[in-house]
Amino acid sequence: MPPAAAVMGTPASAYQGALLAEARHADTVFMMGDNPALPKMPERPALKDFFLLRFGRISRTHLLQSARVARENGLDEKVITACLLHDIAIAGLLPANHGYWGAQMVGPYVDEEVAWSIEKHEALRYFPDESVGYTYPAAYIDYFGPDYNPPDYIRREHETARRHRWYMTSRLVTINDIYSFDPDVVVDYDEFEDVVGRNFRQPEEGLGFDGSPVAHMWRTMIWPNNFL
């Protein structure tokens, strides 16, 4: 069952009625548990399991590549961690408003500054900062067209973030963001196991089962196809 918000206005919004009709057959049930089409997650999943078993290849490579560039640029571990996590909402949950979703997903497990910079990178990406060599990404002209204007709430977010003491941490996420996707680059997650160990508090019960206010977001990635 695709999420309602993702199918509104598309032919796929008719799925609900079709699936409900199908469920009336005695031998048919909705999916409520492991989807056999997906790799099985361990009982107590850690961040690495989501990277390897749930995130798509393009997103996974993008995150690992951004973190690698941040490390090569000699940035501190907060920035490397933020780069490694900045697009995890796109990778496994929801692309729209991904900075905000991503910040919430990792909020209980990382330094507040890391979560903040993930949230704000969403707005900062659209606005150049010549003083640190950040220009509007050429890729966005392809993605959104030459006339795209970010909405007012994004402009306000940018202005507020700009005055914040952690501005540069979030700005560094946008600077180390890799806007050109090179499918041939391979980066091993294990390169960052040490950084993750020091900067991401993995819950003992596993992500999705620690009773935190964001556990449901991780469970949605473990069982993305559950009917309810």
**Shorter beta-carbon distance to Fe ion: residue 77 or 177:** 177
Is residue 157 within the footprint of Fe ion (CB under 5 A)? no
d(CA 225, CA 180): 30
Among 97, 90, 94, 99, which Cα is nearest to 173's? 99
Shortest spacing between CB 188 and Fe ion, in angstroms: 19
Shortest spacing between CB 176 and Fe ion, in angstroms: 9
Shortest spacing between CB 102 and Fe ion, in angstroms: 8
Q: Which stretch binds Fe ion (CB under 5 A): 21-29, 31-39, 104-112, 177-185?
A: 177-185
**Shorter beta-carbon distance to Fe ion: residue 137 or 210:** 137
Which residues make beta-bridge pairs with 134? 129
**Shorter beta-carbon distance to Fe ion: residue 104 or 225:** 104
CA distances from 153 to 97, 150, 223 (A): 12, 8, 32
Site map (CB under 5 A) of Fe ion, residues 48-87, x = contact:
---------------------------------------x
Check: CB of residue 113 under 8 Å from CB of residue 225: no
Q: Which stretch binds Fe ion (CB under 5 A): 33-41, 67-75, 169-177, 200-208?
A: 169-177
CA 161 to chain centre: 20
* C-alpha neighbours within 13 Å on the C-beta side of residue 140: 15
Shortest spacing between CB 152 and Fe ion, in angstroms: 20
Check: CB of residue 173 under 8 Å from CB of residue 83: yes
Is residue 177 within the footprint of Fe ion (CB under 5 A)? yes
Shortest spacing between CB 99 and Fe ion, in angstroms: 6
Q: Which residues are CB-contacts of 122 (< 8 A; sequence separation ≥ 6)?
A: 97, 98, 99, 100, 154, 157
Query: Would you tell me which residues interact with Fe ion (CB under 5 A)?
Result: 87, 177
